[in-house]
Structures are given as C-alpha cells and as structure tokens.
Amino acid sequence: MSSSPASQPPSSYTQMPEHDLDAIGRNCQYEFCRQLDFLPFRCESCRGTFCLEHRTETAHNCSHAGEWARRRRENNTGGSNASDGIGKTTKPTVYNSDQCAHLTCKTLINTSKSPAVHCDRCNRQYCLQHRLREEHDCAKLTPLGARPAGGGQGPTANETIRSMFSKVRTWGKDKTTISLPAGLKQTSSSSSRTTTGSAISQLNELKRTAKGDASIPQERRLHLHVVGCSDNPNAREPPSGNFFFDTRWKVGRVLDDAARRLKVENVNNRSDDEEARLRIFHIESGQFLEFSAVIGETNVKPGHTIVLLRGAGVLLQNNK
C-alpha cells in the first residue's frame, strides 16, 4: 500500500519501525547482499526492503528509480502531471512596484509592513515616514488631477496645457520673438550665419559645464541643454541645466535622469494620468519624443535643447 499524499517521505527510503513485526529479522533484498537486518529500510520507489548499506536507489539498482520523487511532485502540485499543463497559460506573478511619492524616497508602499497613506491635499500616496504634509513639502506641490477652484472661473486644466504647449512650439518655430527661460539659448535666423568657431565654442562650453553619469564613455555622450517644468506657481523661472546622456539610452530613461537632476517630480513610472506625467519636447524639431525611441537615433544632436513638459500627453491624445 502506498503512502498517503500528506505523509510523503523526504527521501527515497524510510526506516521500518521496530513495532512492525513483519520488519523484524528481514533480509536485504539486494541480490548480492541478503544480509539479515533487524532495522531494515523500505525503498519508497520499488517498496523493497534493504539494509543500511543498500537503502538508496543507486545502491540497490532500484527498478523504479525516481518513482517516489514523481509522486512527491504530483502531491505538491495538486496531483497533476506534466502533460496536464500542455495548452494552459500560467498566470504571471504580479509584483508590487508602488513607491512613496516623496522625491527622494524609494520605499515600497501598499505592503503588509509599509501601508500607503493618502494625502488629501496633494492627492499622492506616501510611506509612514513621509505621511505628514510637512515631511513631503505638501504646500509646494500641485495636487494631482486638481482643477482650479472658483466654480468654473479661470482657465481649465486643458486650456493651461494648451497655452504651455503653444508657447513651447513657438520656441521651436521662431525663437527670436519669445523670451525664453533663463539659460535657454536662443536660436534665430541669424544663428545660421554664426561662425563655425562660435558654434563650436558654445558647444564646448556646454560640454564643460554638463553633468551626467561618469561611467558613460566619452564617445557615447550626448550633451544637451535641458529645461524642466516648475510645479511651484510662484517660481520665476523653471529649473534648467546642461547634462550629458548615453546615446544608447531610451528617451524614457533620459527623461528619468533629467528629472532627477533638475529635482522635477516624476511620476511616470507610478501613474497613468497624463495630466501628471512628463514628456520630452525637442525644441529644434518642434516634436515630442517617443519614450521607447533611442535618443541617439532621433533628430536630437549635441548642443540641442529639450524641455520636460507635464500634462502635454493630454493634448497629444486629443489630437490623435
């Protein structure tokens, strides 16, 4: 009689109990042994009785080697065999990737050890350490998905985004008629007449002041001027700086790195709300860059300018 599923042995053999009268004085069944053993072992594969020396499947050349292991696997998987899984799809394991919304915090939230705490004012979720408004600088944040108060007075969110979008597109078309943020280099029709030496000098200056990942080889560095968006309505100018990126990076990774260096809140990996997500606008071409595109394979060249815009994805969806 075979063992029940709940009592499968941890090895291919088990010692027969002393109170089992049938086990007393049994001879080893291995043909070259036949030794009398008063404490024999039972092979769980062929159900034979063997001495200490020949108790393993290998030692007695078991005729049903591996049978006990097969039964054990079946019990652990609910009794199904290998053929039962043919044609069936396994449900993928879903891992929790929710992070605290604080800019410098990487704590996973919505877990048993670290529950998420929702802030009613800024509409974000934080870990226990940053749950208080003072801890995550709530007063400086624009609430996610917020609409201007006042019963419909003032511009809607879409109108605000359209105004911003229109202004940035104007930068790309005619930079001589727009007052750009500090540090954003102006390029006009006269720039095409700038001497080669001056252009090289400007690019060298950008390279000299650019910051980035030091592990990127020199030959793969793409030096750009980056302008971020400001979530503080009282800020006079948006953050900006000169940075270099790996030409093999995807646009999405460039955005993440630029946002981190400019200290611009980036929820792209934690939210599907286009009003809160960032996108990259390329000034010289007047186009938004696709997240999946490789930055070195786009129209972006050394010395160009890219802008991080929040909420522009809403217009891109509406214009499709």
Any idea which of 48-52, 165-169, 201-205, 271-275 has the lowest mean pLDDT?
165-169
Contact predicate 100/127, CB 8 Å:
yes
Mean pLDDT of 119-136: 87
Radius of gyration of the chain (CA): 34
Q: Measure the CA–CA gap between 232 and 236, rounded to whole angstroms.
A: 9
Per-residue pLDDT tens digits for 10-40: 666 766 665 554 546 678 888 778 887 777 8
Give the Cα separation of 238 and 278 in Å (integer).
14
pLDDT, greater one: 36 or 7: 36
User: 201-318 is classed in which CATH architecture?
Assistant: Roll (3.10)
Whether 55 has a pLDDT exceeding 90, the answer reads no
Q: How confident is the model at residue 297 (pLDDT cuts 50, 70, 90)?
A: very high
Separation between Cα atoms, residue 181 and residue 34, nearest integer Å: 94
- pLDDT at site 255: 93
Q: Can you tell me the distance from the alpha carbon of 63 to that of 281, in angstroms, rounded to the nearest whole number?
A: 71
Distance CA 186, CA 189 (A): 10
| pLDDT above 60 for 1 | no
CA neighbor of 240 nearest in space, from 156, 162, 171, 308 = 308
Residue 166 has pLDDT above 80, yes or no: no
**Mean pLDDT estimate for the chain:** 74
The pLDDT of residue 173 is 46
pLDDT in the model for residue 189? 41
Residue 293 pLDDT grade (very low, low, confident, very high; cuts 50, 70, 90): very high
Confidence of residue 51 (pLDDT cuts 50, 70, 90): confident
**Residue 238 to residue 46: CA distance in whole angstroms:** 78
Q: Which of 53-57, 123-127, 142-146, 243-247 has the highest mean pLDDT?
A: 243-247
User: Considering the domain 94-143 in this protein, what is its CATH number?
Assistant: 4.10.1110.10
- Concatenated DSSP letters for the chain? -PPPGGG--SSSEEEPPTT-GGGTTEEP-STTT--EESS-EEETTT--EE-STT-STTTTT-TTTTHHHHHHHHHHTTT--GGGGTTPPPPPPPPP--B-SSTT---B-SSSSS--EEETTTTEEE-STT-STTTTTGGGSPPTT---SSTT-S--HHHHHHHHHHHHHHHHH-TTSS-PPTT-----GGGGGS-HHHHHHHHHHHHHH-B--TTS-GGGEEEEEEE---S-TT-SS--EEEEEEETTSBHHHHHHHHHHHHT----TTT---TTT-EEEEETTTTEEPPTTSBGGGSS--TT-EEEEEESHHHHHHHT-
**% of the chain at pLDDT higher than 90:** 17
The CATH architecture assigned to 21-72 reads Irregular (4.10)
Intervals of CATH 4.10.1110.10 along the chain = 21-72, 94-143
Q: pLDDT, tens digit, for every residue of 177-196?
A: 333 444 444 444 444 444 56
CA distance 96 to 113: 13
Closest CA to 309 of 166, 165, 97: 165
Determine the pLDDT at residue 47: 84
Look at residue 26 in the predicted model and tell me its pLDDT. Answer: 79
Which ranges in the chain are annotated with CATH 3.10.20.90?
201-318
pLDDT of residue 229 exceeding 90, the answer is no
Q: Is the pLDDT assigned to residue 211 strictly greater than 80?
A: yes
Beta strands 41-43 and 49-50, pairing class = antiparallel
Q: Which residues of 213-233 are buried (b: 16+ CB within 10 A; e: fewer)?
A: eeebeeeebbbbbbbbbbeee
